[in-house]
Structure 1
């Protein structure tokens, strides 16, 4: 009895589920997930917001033009006394003013605020990369997890078929009086256990497919099938050291930019207490201050404004000290991130190489389990072994194939971990 032949029969378990299906390979699935991801769209929108904020911060360098106006109506009658002569004042007073102001020096606040906004824009850009990495990783985990569930379901179908065939043989032998009913009942019990396991495996497979549909923005119950199986051989990447990963990992770049941003915050805290100078021009039109006749006039002014902070009870020192403490905290976080990435790269490479090696061991184990099941089944039908030996061989068979599927899955996840840990997609590798 060869399980490869039984596999063809076991594929009948999938009949009725393949019509009108969407068939996707991993690359197509990944792109569909990226296209639909609302999380990625949020990240892109936040990047756009930071870009607009940076442009807004830049406008502070340029002259500002403002217009103001006022109107006042005096209800009570009022007369101005000029040397004993009462002169009635107009009830209406109004004015309009247009002014142009240009900051010459703002203590560095405009400059540092603009530089801080530039850094925030760069951080937002790296956040998009980080979000993309996380989505790609989630897509890999979802696809290969579903592929593993599919393989497990098909394996359980084979397992049920193996037991069904032997159950039929035992039933015939029991009818002919060659075996006791105990052997038949034990095999029938094993068959029901296998059918329950198959049902549970099918349920897990369908839930995994539903999750994939949701990631692509489809209806959860939309029919779908996978092109790439869990046993698909993927190219092994070259070893990439932690130093290379640090140069391309977006989360490390964000930590570096966060330190730079905090340095600007230190400078901004001090800039509030630096001298500032601005100049401007104002053109005013309206009634005179003493509105006797109601006539209007133009008035032009050129001005310069200077501010010299003198004493604020040590506020400058305390404000900068607080920002420097935050800066020190972010520098520690940067070092911690560097150590974390170094560990992730080393762990991911070890897991990838070992999981790849374990696949070969699991494949050899499956061959042995298959041969053992064939021999034990044959020997039992010849009366040389007990039914317990066959039941044990069946358990060994299903456990061996379960371990093989798990090895395939863990190797795919280890590869995804390594790609993410090293930032391999930024290096032009796949």
Structure 2
């Protein structure tokens, strides 16, 4: 019964000091994440680009100037001359280019925000994965330590019975071989824990070797999330929203490529400051002007038709890409829910199997001590217990990851 009690204690004990909760770890990973910083900088760049595109609606002030000095000198004429021409120009109609460019930039900013939100979902899932992976390998290492302790406890009984002449040397050799195998597996489990710890700490930007105690682990009862219908998942997913925005952006791109082939109308005022010609006295004058500029493309050998055709092809590609993303999300939701339900069922089945294996190990060990079972019976019970224990750990881990994955798929 001592073995059964130790198994239950190992499975139920929860660390209480120096805890790192899942919510705190998610926040730390998000604060450190270079992926999120890059996505945020892309959003900032898109916002500035959108502001830049809107300046196309405003009048523009420009100034042209020149200064010339001749090498040869003519009597009565200054060698130098200059001109300075400031102009204020307002585009009245640019063929729709300004409006299309501004719309494209606004949509690009919306796409960048969607991409940033999708990156946030990915980073959160990566944090969950690292957290649950560390919990799983920590529990597996603990189970291997318990497994080694169980075998060593049995070895003491075997050695005592062998010294008393009750068993043959073969039993001693079998338990020694099993102990050596268990110790080897323990070393591998400890190594896996160290690797998981390094990944855990690097993801949040701390010392890779820093020790940690988790406030939650895969043994905790994670609530079963409610199912999200595909239509709602589609509305939540930022990558699907970005795909639809790209389709709309491509539609604005058609107007943008058509604009240079439309009439262009602009008005403006300006003034020329320059010396008289020929420059004999150095005196200058200012001559103001107002103008209206109209440009009407007439024939470009089908360039407009082909440019618009290429833009329409791009727009169709973006529409089909949005449809592809739609189907991918529907498939992900269905597969994610199936994995969630199946992993939950595996948790329940593995718990029951582990309970039975623990009882069988306790009975086999006691029976061997009383001479009612062989060493093979005990070794088989030990092997069955550690295999079922590993299955239980894997089932809990798969369920925890499935919960996080389904939350990522449905953008919760």
Give the TM bin, normalised by the shorter chain. over 0.9
Q: Look up the match of 2:34.
A: 38
In structure 2, runs of 5+ residues without a counterpart are none
Q: Look up the match of 2:346.
A: 358
Please show how residues 3-82 of structure 1 align to structure 2 within 5 Å. 3-7=3-7, 23-78=19-74
- CA displacement at 1:383 relative to structure 2: 2.7
8 Å contact from structure 1 (residues 3, 158) kept in 2: no
Q: Which structure 1 residue ranges, 4+ long, deviate > 4 Å from structure 2? A: 7-11
The CA distance in 1 between the partners of 2:139 and 2:123, in whole Å, is 24
- CA displacement at 1:9 relative to structure 2: 9.1
8 Å contact from structure 2 (residues 78, 280) kept in 1: yes
Q: Look up the match of 1:412.
A: 400
Q: Which TM-score applies when normalising by structure 1? A: 0.92
Q: Please, which of 361, 375, 382 is the counterpart of residue 363 of structure 2?
A: 375
Q: Deviations over 1:320-348 (max 9, x none)?
A: 11111111111111111111111111111
Q: Look up the match of 2:108.
A: 120
- CA displacement at 1:377 relative to structure 2: 1.9
Is it true that 1:177 corresponds to 2:152 in the alignment? no
Q: Please, which of 293, 298, 303 is the counterpart of residue 286 of structure 2?
A: 298
Is it true that 1:134 corresponds to 2:130 in the alignment? no
- CA displacement at 1:384 relative to structure 2: 2.9
Q: Which TM-score applies when normalising by structure 2? A: 0.96
Q: Deviations over 1:280-333 (max 9, x none)?
A: 111121212432322100110101111111111111000111111111111111
Q: CA-atom RMSD, angstroms?
A: 1.8
Alpha-carbon spacing, 1:290–1:139, altered in 2? closer, same or farther (3 Å): same
Alpha-carbon spacing, 1:407–1:9, altered in 2? closer, same or farther (3 Å): closer
The CA distance in 1 between the partners of 2:272 and 2:399, in whole Å, is 77
In structure 1, runs of 5+ residues without a counterpart are 12-17, 80-87, 425-430
Is it true that 1:238 corresponds to 2:234 in the alignment? no
Is it true that 1:318 corresponds to 2:300 in the alignment? no
- CA displacement at 1:10 relative to structure 2: 7.1
8 Å contact from structure 2 (residues 4, 358) kept in 1: no
Aligned length: 410
Q: Look up the match of 1:427.
A: none
Q: Look up the match of 2:242.
A: 254
Please show how residues 270-281 of structure 1 align to structure 2 within 5 Å. 270-281=258-269
8 Å contact from structure 1 (residues 6, 161) kept in 2: no
Please show how residues 411-430 of structure 1 align to structure 2 within 5 Å. 411-424=399-412
Q: Helix, strand or coil: the match of 1:313? A: coil
Q: Deviations over 1:210-245 (max 9, x none)?
A: 111111110111222211121111222211100001
- CA displacement at 1:96 relative to structure 2: 1.8
